[in-house]
């Protein structure tokens, strides 16, 4: 690795530019520290239902959330119920599910509930045509997972066609098509927290295409960190999920010193 990298207490490597950015925001209050869950606070695993948290990363985020004038948030495309089952009930971290649509209870009208149910059952039929596919039900739609199918492009196209026909919006992620009614996205969720907290700065970590909405709302004072390489609007990148705990621990160390 190049000369632009320096070690830190955790033994992992953080780019010197990212270190300087974290040094700077560590001194700002109120500070919003927000992170995606899958692939960031949890390693990507073959079975999406088994996405157990990276305990070191989660512990660092929780400890940040305990600090004064510091607000910790985990934002996920998963339902709030699923996210809560992975992270556990917590006062230190605010959990936000379904791309920002679920935070403090979601009002779902009877009409929408019927459309959601119909979409979920149609996607279930698509999944049966593509063995290995799975439908994750959400309050305002569903996620169609196709990591294990033999014809992934065809399965994804079929799921998108079904969603579009039902009037749902689709978001393509890593081997998943999110099919949602309404227009919640992670960027709106972050903007809402920034406004509510009057945050002086935001740190956001994400690994997937849906996190680009969050990176897009960040300003000059903020620190967007893409986890893994690939096109991104984030100003900083770390190589992969194993680096996340080091980043959060570094921020924690700077904010408490």
Which is closer to Mg ion, CB of 19 or CB of 100? 100
Distance CA 214, CA 217 (A): 6
Distance CA 43, CA 51 (A): 7
Element (H, E) at 18: helix 16-25
Residue 207 engages Mg ion in binding (rule: CB under 5 A): yes
Question: If binding means CB under 5 A, how many residues of this protein chain bind Mg ion?
Answer: 5
The closest of 231, 187, 254, 230 to 19, measured between CA atoms, is 254
Distance CA 235, CA 237 (A): 7
From 54, 102, 136, 208, residue interacting with Mg ion (rule: CB under 5 A): 208
Q: How far is the CB of 112 from Mg ion (least distance, A)?
A: 26
Q: How far is the CB of 244 from Mg ion (least distance, A)?
A: 11
Stretch that binds Mg ion, among 28-36, 133-141, 152-160, 217-225 (CB under 5 A): 28-36
Residue 178 engages Mg ion in binding (rule: CB under 5 A): no
Residue 103 engages Mg ion in binding (rule: CB under 5 A): no
Q: Is the peptide bond before 108 cis (omega within 30 degrees of 0)?
A: no
Q: Which two tokens mark 64?
A: 């940040």
Per the CB < 8 A criterion, the answer to whether 126 and 133 are in contact is yes
Catalytic annotation on 183? no
Which is closer to Mg ion, CB of 158 or CB of 244? 244
Residue 36 engages Mg ion in binding (rule: CB under 5 A): yes
From 15, 21, 31, 39, residue interacting with Mg ion (rule: CB under 5 A): 39
Q: Which residues bind Mg ion (CB under 5 A)?
A: 36, 38-39, 207-208
């Amino acid at each position: 690795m190049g000369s632009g990298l320096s070690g830190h207490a955790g033994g992992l490597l953080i780019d010197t530019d990212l270190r300087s950015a974290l040094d700077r925001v560590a001194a700002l209050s109120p500070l919003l520290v927000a992170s995606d869950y899958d692939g960031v606070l949890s390693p990507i695993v073959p079975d999406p239902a088994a996405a157990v948290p990276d305990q070191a990363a989660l512990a660092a985020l929780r400890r940040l959330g305990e600090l004064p004038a510091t607000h910790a948030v985990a934002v996920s495309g998963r339902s709030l119920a699923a996210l809560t089952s992975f992270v556990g009930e917590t006062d230190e971290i605010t959990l936000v599910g379904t791309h920002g649509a679920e935070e403090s209870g979601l009002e779902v009208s009877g009409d929408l509930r019927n459309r959601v149910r119909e979409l979920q059952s149609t996607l279930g039929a698509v999944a049966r045509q593509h063995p290995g596919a799975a439908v994750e039900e959400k309050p305002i739609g569903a996620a169609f997972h196709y990591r294990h199918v033999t014809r992934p492009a065809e399965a994804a196209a079929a799921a998108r066609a079904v969603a579009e026909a039902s009037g749902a919006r689709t978001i393509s992620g890593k081997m998943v098509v999110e099919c949602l009614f309404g227009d919640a996205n992670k960027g709106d969720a972050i903007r809402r927290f920034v406004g509510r907290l009057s945050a002086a700065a935001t740190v956001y970590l994400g690994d997937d295409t849906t996190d680009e909405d969050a990176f897009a709302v960040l300003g000059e004072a903020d620190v967007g960190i893409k986890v893994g390489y690939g096109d991104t609007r984030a100003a900083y990148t770390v190589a992969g999920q194993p680096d996340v705990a080091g980043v959060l621990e570094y921020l924690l160390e700077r904010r408490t010193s």
